[in-house]
């Protein structure tokens, strides 16, 4: 399952099928939908070498940037970058 919405749709379809007695028909429809998705993802063309190289380069640059940020140490007693203060709820007019 990809999302909560998809899961809830499946649960609702299963519940409706159980109530109406059409569970085998719903199961066949779900199997067809799943096989259609699998066929679409399997048939996706391979990325060209230039695109793969660019993605690898960007992943490396992102990893390097994260490594640099994580390695940076703040001096003891330095001020906080921000302080979280929750907002008061807005007053509703009646």
Q: If pLDDT is split at 50, 70 and 90, which confidence band does 42 have? A: low
Band the pLDDT of 8: cuts 50, 70, 90.
confident
Q: What does the buried/exposed string (b/e) look like for 3-30 if buried means 16 or more CB atoms within 10 Å of the residue's CB?
A: eeeeeeeeeebeeebeeeeeeeebeeee
Assigned token pair, 36: 């259609």
- For the chain, give the mean pLDDT: 81
Whether the model pTM is above 0.85: no
Region 23-38: what's the mean pLDDT?
69
């Amino acid at each position: 399952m990809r999302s909560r919405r998809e899961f809830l749709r499946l649960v609702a379809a299963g519940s409706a099928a159980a109530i109406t007695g059409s569970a085998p028909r719903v199961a066949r429809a779900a199997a067809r939908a799943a096989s259609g998705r699998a066929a679409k993802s399997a048939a996706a063309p391979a990325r060209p070498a230039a695109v793969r190289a660019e993605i690898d380069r960007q992943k490396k640059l992102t990893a390097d940037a994260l490594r640099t940020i994580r390695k940076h140490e703040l001096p003891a007693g330095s001020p906080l970058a921000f302080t979280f203060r929750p907002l008061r709820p807005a007053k509703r007019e009646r």
